[in-house]
Amino acid sequence: MASAFEGPDGPFVYARYGNPTVRALENAVADLEGGAGALAVGSGMGAITSTLWALLRPGDHVVAQNCLYGGTQGVLGDLRERWGVDVTPVAAGDPEQVRAAIRPNTRVLFLETIVNPTGEVVDLPRLAAMAREAGVTTVVDNTFATPLLCRPIEHGADVVVHSATKYLGGHSDVIGGLMVFADAATRLAVQERTAEFGAVLDPFAAWLIVRGLQTLGVRVPRQCASAQVLAERLAGHSAVAAVHYPGLPDHPGHGDARRLLSGGFGGVLSFELAGGLRAGRAFVGAVRLASLAPSLGDVKTLVMHPASTSHRQLSAERLAQAGIAEGLIRVSVGIEDVEDLWADIEQALKAAERHH
Ligand SMILES: *Cc1c(COP(=O)(O)O)cnc(C)c1O
């Protein structure tokens, strides 16, 4: 027992400091991401807050991509208001904007590999190199890409975070988060904080995520292939005004996505119905194979209409500012037969056209 209390990676003595099932998950995800080590926590948000709180102190500065996951934006707002950490949002598609935003007190650059719902992909190697030169730690949320499409540490990232609730778990039956570190020292520093916060992962949840990892290499390529087919067909449909998917050649991030991602462009796409709000409601009410549900990365196809659900409190004007069209539909493509999925989408598009 004395040796167990010696250090965080000694024998297991108490589950908040470490557990063998959780450690098995951490080792597996560290391997997948090519990192020196990983830490699992209770959710993706737990991974994001643990990382930021461990790296930052009052007076520090963060440069953040301007269209991050809503929960991440909430944490960054909190850091600014409550903890005296200044945050500069940047259009990370423009590396010069990122360079201009970095100050002497900048500690963290926060990016996502594939941004929701626009499908933006940035020039990660260039941005990470720029950050490293300035002594800034690059943190990348790799939830949408998974380590199958992109291993950000190989492109210069220092910390990778995941919502394991999505693709790593893969079945919408577990909540969890992972942090993967390029160097062991950062892992140790963050581990001290996670033991304090107590936001650790339950061992059974870890077991479920390890179960999910066993099929990651089968699920993700199929989801990407189906998303590509659906995106191409949607782009040619009369009820659809625009499709946002980095696998389409006319997507603004297509060039960066081709360089950064391998094996596919992700399993999530979004499209705008020409019929706006009413058409959006009609579409999600009409799907039969797909489920109307939040979250993503499930083996089942999930659809969302942000303007009538997650973003319903915003006025038409604020929606437009947030880049969310009233007829925007997000699809997280599952592993069903792609022709079955297209048949379902096609009949729901007909219902949407009737409400135009
Ligand atoms: C869902 C999600 C999160 C938050 O993860 P939770 O497991 O729900 O806490 C963070 N980042 C991205 C990109 C996500 O999709």
1-10, 115-124, 182-191, 228-237 — which is least confidently predicted? 1-10
What residue type is assigned to position 143 of the chain?
T
Task: Give pTM, 2 decimals.
Answer: 0.96
Instruction: Give the whole-angstrom CA distance, residue 254 versus residue 34.
Output: 25
pLDDT exceeds 70 at position 356: no
d(CA 322, CA 242): 16
Q: Which of 298, 170, 216 is nearest to 32 (CA)?
A: 216
Q: Which residue's CA lies nearest to atom 4 of ligand 1?
A: 44
User: Is a pLDDT exceeding 80 seen at residue 287?
Assistant: yes
User: What does DSSP assign to residue 312?
Assistant: T
Q: Does the CA dihedral 327-116-91-260 come out positive or negative?
A: negative
**Nearest-CA residue for atom 5 of ligand 1:** 44
Per-residue pLDDT, 312: 86
21 with 36: CB under 8 angstroms?
A: no
Is 350 annotated in the active site? no
SS (H, E, C) 46-63: HHHHHHHHHHCCCCCEEE
Q: Model confidence over 86-96: pLDDT tens digits?
A: 999 999 999 99
43, 115, 163, best to mutate for ligand 1 pocket (most atoms within 8 Å of CB): 163
Q: How buried is residue 202: exposed, middle or buried, by Cβ count under 10 Å (0-12/13-18/19+)?
A: middle
What is the pLDDT confidence band of residue 5, given thresholds at 50, 70 and 90? Answer: confident
Distance 293 CA to ligand 1 centre (A): 15
* Cα 141 to Cα 115, 121, 210, 351, distances in angstroms: 9, 12, 20, 36
Q: Is 141 a catalytic residue?
A: yes
Query: What's the mean pLDDT in 233-238?
Result: 97
Give catalytic status of residue 330 as yes or no.
no
> Does 254 have pLDDT greater than 90?
yes
Kindly report, residue by residue over 156-171, the tens digit of the pLDDT. 999 999 999 999 999 9
Which residues does a 6 A CB cutoff place in the pocket of ligand 1? 43-45, 69, 71, 112, 141, 143-144, 163, 165-166, 175, 177
What value does the mean pLDDT take over residues 50-65? Answer: 97
Average pLDDT of the residues in 7-18: 83
166 part of the active site: yes
Neighbours of 236 (CB within 10 A): 8
Span 25-46, mean pLDDT? 98
User: Taking 90 as the threshold, does the pLDDT of residue 318 lie above it?
Assistant: no
Domains of the chain in start order, with CATH, are: 2-211 (3.40.640.10), 217-354 (3.90.1150.10)
Amino acid residing at 123: D
Using DSSP bridges, classify how beta strands 302-304 and 328-332 pair: parallel, antiparallel or unpaired.
antiparallel
**Mean pLDDT (the chain, rounded):** 95
